[in-house]
Amino acid sequence: MADHLLEVRDLSVRFHTAHGVVNAVNGISWHLDRGETLGILGESGSGKSVSASAIMNLIDTPPGEITSGQILFDGQDLLKATDEERRRLNGKRISMIFQDPLGHLNPVYPVGWQIAETAMAHGVSKTDAYDRALQLMQRVGIPDAKTAMHKYPHQFSGGQRQRLMIAMALVLKPDILIADEPTTALDVTVQAEVLSLLEELQEETGMGLLLITHDLGVVAEACDRAVVMEGGRIVESGTPRDLYHNAQHPYTQKLLAAAPGKGEMRSAENGRQPILEVRGLTKSYGSFDALRGAEFDLHAGETLAVVGESGSGKSTIARLMLRLEAASAGSVTWKGEDILKKSPRDMAKLRRQLQMVFQDPTQSLNPHMSIYDIISEAWVIHPDILPKAKWRARVAELLEQVGLLPEHALRYPHQFSGGQRQRIAIARALALEPELIICDEAVSALDVSIQAQVIALLGELRDRLGIAFIFIAHDLPVVRDFADRVLVMQRGRIVEQGTVRQIFEAPREAYTQRLLAAGLDADPDVQAERRAARQHLTQTTGAPA
């Protein structure tokens, strides 16, 4: 059985925490062959990263404890090897890259040194190590690599940082590369580029690639085989096609059902009066325009999605509309009055009609306030909405409306999961009975199945209460299912706008086409089509932006 490049057998790991023992993985087994890409698919808490940490000797004991299993590499059980033996393998034979390249690169050292360090840690001479670092930086597509070597991590973009991590991992041409959510924090177009870079490098070196992800699309795009994990166990495994078409386990089926981008597209009703008219909205920082001349309308009860890559100006629109930042020029007319010209007092009154839900519910909810206080705070600020005697009943009602229980009012934010916290944030927004809710990447940080639930909740509120939404997102499948109309933004400009059907079925702009082609779909067949479209676009319009 020593034929596999790497084999994990019956691995169990548990962690001793303040709340007792947590079994992170229970008797999982999988294997990886040379030149193969294996996906480990799972949501947060599924234990999908634990076996990788065990392979890299990154589990601190205590609090971690490996209770059973073997990790066979090169005829050796890594779990029986000494720390020094394992250190010699790390970076040389087995390498790893991580989700958040900014945090995983040391902020105070030049990137060239950090890449060379991998080689130097394994006895390569300094000059040789720097030569290799330079070559690898050129290979992964860092422009002007010679100068870039002396720069620091914060001076690169997110995509470039992930390329640098890849260079750092591959300096010694390892047999295995473990990539833990390597593209999760990246824009779709950048994600597609990084995945194809990994694929090219794999073809060149014949390394085995272990791809840990929560994204069915990444599995469909990049993996030869995948295992699906839930609650520390492998519930199913197979090729992406098998998993997609013949999922046996209910959890896999649930994940597939939750994957967005499959539902009926909404068709916008026309002829309604716009409640919001944005004209010539501009924000400049010196000579840099974060937003240039944005113009669009929003109708009552309508959902307008704003899509684009990071830095395209999506969030700037929301911040200017709510006057969290001052606009440089333009107007935002809400029901006939320009928001940007209102006095602070009038603006405070207006704010209750315009609410916002943010990306990270952990940070946007005050950890020291109970859920009751968080929701009822709105009525402290706007006392005319509800007399105090009715607060308790209304909080209970709102919690039920977002799918929580009335008794949750007495708890604190840390006692809830990420998805529940986002429901609380929505309940807080609803407390003011707004007519418009701006969701800034409100479901981006959530697991697929939770994301589907939150989207369903928002759709229900929209239909029942007639609330209009501005839905800022980088995730196109979610937008496709949820929005009526779409604005596509690039470098501070709206490059295309239209109904969701127009944008998704007949995009006019090359940028929109590229964005759509870069999106990942859970269906391997759709994914193959997109890949072809992407290659076609690259050939006809030159290298992607």
Partner 1 sequence: MRSMLGKRALSSFVSLFVLIVLVFFLSRLTGDPATLYLPVDASDEMRNNFREIHGLNDPVLTQFGRYLVDLVQLDFGDSLRKARPALEVVLEAFVWTLWLALITMLLVTVAAIVVGSIAAFNVGKPFDRFASVLSLIGASAPDFWIAIVGIVVFSVSFGWLPTSGTGTIWHWVLPISVLFIRPFGLILQIVRGSMITALGAAYVKTARAKGVRNRPIIFVHTLRNAMLPVITVIGDQAAALLNGAVVVETIFGFPGVGKLMIDSILQRDFNVILASIMVTAIAIFIMNILIDIAYALLDPRIRS
- Residue 368 CB, nearest distance to partner 1 (Å)? 22
Q: How far from the centroid of its chain's Cα atoms is residue 279's Cα?
A: 31
Give the range of 106-114, 342-350, 498-506, 518-526 binding partner 1 by CB under 8 A: 106-114
**Distances from the Cα of 161 to the Cα of 102, 115, 158, 185, 189, angstroms:** 7, 12, 5, 11, 15
Give the range of 102-110, 137-145, 417-425, 474-482 binding partner 1 by CB under 8 A: 102-110
* Residue placing its CB nearer to partner 1 in the complex, 81 or 121: 121
* Residue placing its CB nearer to partner 1 in the complex, 110 or 406: 110
Task: Verify binding: residue 129, partner 1, rule CB under 8 A.
Answer: no
* Residue placing its CB nearer to partner 1 in the complex, 99 or 490: 99
Length of the chain: 545
Task: Verify binding: residue 126, partner 1, rule CB under 8 A.
Answer: no
Place of tokens 């002007």: 144
3-state secondary structure of 20: strand
- Residue 63 CB, nearest distance to partner 1 (Å)? 12
Pull the structure tokens for residue 170: 């591959």
Pull the structure tokens for residue 50: 């634990």
Phi, then psi, of 200 in degrees rounded to 5: -60, -45
Q: Do the Cβ atoms of 275 and 323 come closer than 8 Å?
A: no
* Residue placing its CB nearer to partner 1 in the complex, 171 or 398: 171
The Cα–Cα gap between 118 and 424 comes to 45
Binding mask 147-186 for partner 1 (x = CB under 8 A): -----x-xx---------x--xx-----------------
- Residue 6 CB, nearest distance to partner 1 (Å)? 15
Residues 5-64 that bind partner 1 (CB under 8 A): 56-58
Pull the structure tokens for residue 352: 């209750």
3-state secondary structure of 1: coil
3-state secondary structure of 298: strand
Candidate list 98, 251, 296, 379; residue touching partner 1; CB under 8 A: 98
* Residue placing its CB nearer to partner 1 in the complex, 165 or 276: 165
Give the range of 22-30, 41-49, 95-103, 241-249 binding partner 1 by CB under 8 A: 95-103
Candidate list 118, 315, 451, 490; residue touching partner 1; CB under 8 A: 118
* Residue placing its CB nearer to partner 1 in the complex, 171 or 339: 171
What's at 542, amino acid-wise?
G
The Cα–Cα gap between 414 and 424 comes to 12
Residues 439-498 that bind partner 1 (CB under 8 A): none
Task: Verify binding: residue 108, partner 1, rule CB under 8 A.
Answer: yes
The residue among 211, 184, 214 whose CA lies nearest residue 45 is 214
- Which residues, in sequence order, are bridge partners of residue 278? 296, 332
Asked whether the CA dihedral 41, 42, 47, 49 is positive or negative, the reply is: positive
* Residue placing its CB nearer to partner 1 in the complex, 89 or 227: 89
Place of tokens 């947060």: 44
* Residue placing its CB nearer to partner 1 in the complex, 108 or 389: 108
- Residue 207 CB, nearest distance to partner 1 (Å)? 15
Candidate list 22, 79, 121, 369; residue touching partner 1; CB under 8 A: 121
Q: What is the largest CA-CA distance in the chain?
A: 75
Angle at 272 between CA 267 and CA 275, to 5 degrees: 110
The binding site for partner 1 (CB under 8 A) comprises 56-58, 87-92, 95-96, 98, 100, 103-108, 110, 117-118, 121-122, 152, 154-155, 165, 168-169
